[in-house]
Structure 1
Amino acid sequence: MLYYLLYPLHTTFSVFNVFRYITFRTIYASLTALLICWLLGPWMIRKLTERQIGQYVRTDGPPAHKSKTGTPTMGGLLILFAVVTATLLWADLANFFVWMVLLVTVGYGAVGFVDDYLMQIKKETRGLPGRIKILIQVGIGLLVAGLLYARADFDTHVSIPFLKQMAPDLGWAYIHFATMVIAGTSNAVNLTDGLDGLAMGPVTVAAATFV
């Protein structure tokens, strides 16, 4: 949004020329998301605490985790809001791929919200059944992969790490490959996040590759 509002002014004020650089917008989008979390985080924690929306600890978990019972949860809502808001403010909204990433982010975020809602609000210990989660995740993956494949200018070649000369063209199989990567990555992070902070390291490294 800001890209379209401020970049056209670069013909009059050269300082606005920085909006053309994706690195500049990436840095400020990150800072915007951080600021949103910093400003709204304490308020959200208070509201979650008031409504007694807290962490449920499984009985078969480590004894040390018992102390976390009642810790405010559903913080993913704040993260999702911050990321989407920052993206809409700083990204080039004419870029098709931006909307594909947002579709996956919001779609998978909605699955997580429903799961937490069922467990924390409705007090259903199982939350959203695993089979339904997988079906929705695969469905979103198929939708995004199909939209990508449908683009006439989309390249279905994939790069293989450490083998620069090899870039096989998957053709229509790219849809299945992309779906597996999207759904698999989401579940990998979910499983890795079983312990406090365990997912943060891999997520930070993975996210840094896009900066």
Structure 2
Amino acid sequence: MKALTIEQWPLERLRPYARDLTKQDDATVARMADLVRTYGMRLPLLATSDGWIIDGKLRLKAVVTLTGDEVERLGLATLPVIPADDLRPEEVRALRLALKRSASWAPWDKEALAEELLDLEALDVDLSLTGFDEEELRALLGDVAATDLPTLPSGDKDPFQQMVFTLHDQQAERVKEALSVSKGMGHFDQELNRNSNGNALARVCDSFLAAHA
């Protein structure tokens, strides 16, 4: 097996495999494009020297949908590619399948995944940039009861608490609306808490308690 190298190829050199092995609709391509806009192209494509893509078809589709300004800003006029020329044609086709199939071999540890998402949310990370959609996030985080949350380590997080609530869709929309209004009322005390959602919720609660004292 030859040592791996990464080359920069122009988009027109790359040739997507004609057979769509996974259903990559416009919504899926748009989600990948959002990730590329945020993170850039961090994972090289895998292709034969004549351009046939082994792995990375969705990433290529996403880049093609970007505007010229976005392509220039992200430096994506060329893409990183690992050439794979030591495989026979039938091995290329088998590897293409294996790479797609192996991505779903290991099931998620839902408890550990929920803890990771909660940690990111506490850091004010947009969870849509983790690859999970709103329905998936609701299912994951809605299954975690407050009593099941991980114990926060001492140190920087010591005075903070993580809380999870299960809401109906209509209730969730009202909560989002309230948080949005709260955020629009002015800056928060960032020294106390840098999580904008937590600050917005605290402001809503302060207003409610003041009105019903």
TM range (shorter): under 0.3
TM-score, length of structure 1 as denominator length: 0.25
Of Structure 1 and Structure 2, which has the larger fraction of its residues in strand? 2
- Structure 1 or 2, whichever has the larger Rg, is 2
TM-score, length of structure 2 as denominator length: 0.25
